[in-house]
Structure 1
Amino acid sequence: MTVINLAFMAFAAVSLGWLSMRALRDHRMALAERSGLLDSLTVLFSDVNIRLGRDAFPVLVGKLPDQRSVKIELIPDTLVFRRLPQLWLQVTLAETDIQRRPSIGALARPTGAEFYSIVHELPQWIDPPQADVPLLVRGDGKATAAQIECVSALFRSLFSDPTVKEAAITPRVVRLTRQAAQGDRGSHLILRQTRFPIGAISPEQVKAAIADAEILRQVLPGERSAAVSAVA
């Protein structure tokens, strides 16, 4: 074995070791940054608890001023081929009591791969309203024609915002899902890594999602039925 070959092997070993250490360091930094994405939201709610999910993204649970529970989740979505990874911000408002109202929801640009969606779980297909994006609208079959008309008008307005992915209401919860960030193109195309260029979820983003969810709740206010124990 020549000196040149030995030198090349040594260089390759050092380079591989450096790349491995760099990748490990970057991964640890990414996890540390990810864990604090919801920290700025603690001022919005009372009784706040933040935990990390299995994907190391934080989940926040707290209380609104009227003591309804609110759950804030960050959901990484890498399932759709030929599309950059998406990070969804999902806001769920739970009723303190089960409401006598139908379940109905709309999902923008449906692919069938939305594992986080309420809409895919509903049995009734409803003709979608004319909107700026393709919509899948489904319900539980209990909504009246007047209720569907009112909700459809709201869906037209909500989904004029291209960041809105899903809006849904059930007897237990109101849920709104928005785009929080899109995966970094270079990391995804070259390194096949999922990295989101975002430092924190702003209170303004969450306030906007809650406001839209409250509008949907007002369209189908319902009536008290029974106690609800937790956020869905």
Structure 2
Amino acid sequence: MITTIAFSAFVAASGIWMGTRAVQDHRIAMDERRRLLDAAAQRFQGAHITYGADQFPILAAKLGDGRQIRVDIVADTMVCRRLPQLWLKLTLFEAAACARPKIGALARPTGAEFYSLVHGMPHLLTLPSTGVALLMRGDASASCEQIERAGAMFGTLFADPTLKEAAITPRGVRLVRQAAQGERGAHLLLRQARFAITSIAPEVVLRMIAEAQSLSDCLADANPALAAPAAA
């Protein structure tokens, strides 16, 4: 009888400890998640960080030329036969909308990229061979010359295998790059998406800004139209 009571007490105490530990671990994980863009934010005067419902940070800042950027972190668990992905999404907003088409490219498309701009573009475009499996789409206003110029830039950008998407629109430029891959053990054993990353390096964000500016410049001769910045 005493042994049974002692065992029951042990089980109860173990359950309480495990529950408390799980809550503590979750809080620590959420705190680490919220700080992912803190180091990058320090590189921009007047940078502002907010948080999504999933507690991933959203960085907004203004560049020296008046253009604005927004940096989002997207956890992608809609994967098949591979590990979860953590994507870094950067949007460069033009100071005024430009009279240029929508053109974008998506690397290694699966059709499950819920964060993609390219999937929403109506026309399939032909891209010269770049050695990377790319889906290139655009709208009806894209000329052959514009497609060729954007395609050449895509060929350069997608030489980096971490780049997932690049898109140019009248209102801005969007880049999506792999930030981290899910831990294999947590995914295979517990079906959890855990990422072994505590900070997005500021250099990665600065590099993406430079790439976005280069992509914007490749169609920079388009005439500006009067419009306020909006989501790309």
Aligned counterpart, 2:226: 226
User: Using the alignment, how far apart are the partners of 1:24 and 1:114 within structure 2?
Assistant: 31
1:147, distance to aligned residue in structure 2 (A) = 1.4
Letter in 2 for 1:95: E
**Unpaired stretches in structure 1, ≥5 consecutive residues:** none
Aligned counterpart, 1:83: 82
Provide runs of 4+ in structure 1 moved above 3 Å: 2-8, 229-232
User: Using the alignment, how far apart are the partners of 1:132 and 1:198 within structure 2?
Assistant: 30
User: Using the alignment, how far apart are the partners of 1:231 and 1:44 within structure 2?
Assistant: 23
Compute the TM-score of the two structures, normalised by the length of structure 2: 0.94
Whether 1:134 aligns to 2:147 is no
1:176, distance to aligned residue in structure 2 (A) = 0.7
- Cα separation, partners in 2 of 1:135 and 1:155, compared to 1, 3 Å: same
Aligned counterpart, 1:192: 191
Task: Say which SS state the counterpart of residue 56 (structure 1) adopts.
Answer: coil
Does structure 1 conserve the Cα–Cα contact (< 8 Å) formed by 2:97 and 2:229?
A: no
User: Using the alignment, how far apart are the partners of 2:213 and 2:188 within structure 1?
Assistant: 39
Compute the TM-score of the two structures, normalised by the length of structure 1: 0.94
**Unpaired stretches in structure 2, ≥5 consecutive residues:** none
Does structure 1 conserve the Cα–Cα contact (< 8 Å) formed by 2:94 and 2:229?
A: no
User: Using the alignment, how far apart are the partners of 1:82 and 1:23 within structure 2?
Assistant: 28
User: Using the alignment, how far apart are the partners of 1:231 and 1:124 within structure 2?
Assistant: 21
Letter in 1 for 2:227: A
- Which stretch shows the higher mean deviation, 91-100 or 15-24? 15-24
Deviations 1:139-189 (A, max 9, x none): 012111111112112212211111000000000010111001111111211
Aligned counterpart, 1:115: 114
User: Using the alignment, how far apart are the partners of 2:155 and 2:113 within structure 1?
Assistant: 21
Structure number with the higher strand fraction is 1
1:231, distance to aligned residue in structure 2 (A) = 4.0
1:77, distance to aligned residue in structure 2 (A) = 0.5
User: Using the alignment, how far apart are the partners of 1:194 and 1:6 within structure 2?
Assistant: 39
Does structure 1 conserve the Cα–Cα contact (< 8 Å) formed by 2:67 and 2:93?
A: yes
Letter in 2 for 1:91: L
Deviations 1:80-122 (A, max 9, x none): 1221111111110001111011100001111111111110110
Aligned counterpart, 1:166: 165
Aligned counterpart, 1:93: 92
Task: Say which SS state the counterpart of residue 99 (structure 1) adopts.
Answer: coil
User: Using the alignment, how far apart are the partners of 2:127 and 2:5 within structure 1?
Assistant: 68
**Count of residue pairs the alignment pairs up:** 231
Letter in 1 for 2:226: A
Whether 1:149 aligns to 2:144 is no
Does structure 2 conserve the Cα–Cα contact (< 8 Å) formed by 1:88 and 1:180?
A: yes
Whether 1:10 aligns to 2:15 is no
Letter in 2 for 1:215: S
Does structure 2 conserve the Cα–Cα contact (< 8 Å) formed by 1:48 and 1:62?
A: yes
Does structure 2 conserve the Cα–Cα contact (< 8 Å) formed by 1:69 and 1:230?
A: no
Does structure 1 conserve the Cα–Cα contact (< 8 Å) formed by 2:173 and 2:212?
A: yes
Letter in 2 for 1:207: L
Letter in 2 for 1:81: C
1:10, distance to aligned residue in structure 2 (A) = 2.7
Letter in 1 for 2:196: P
Task: Say which SS state the counterpart of residue 47 (structure 2) adopts.
Answer: strand
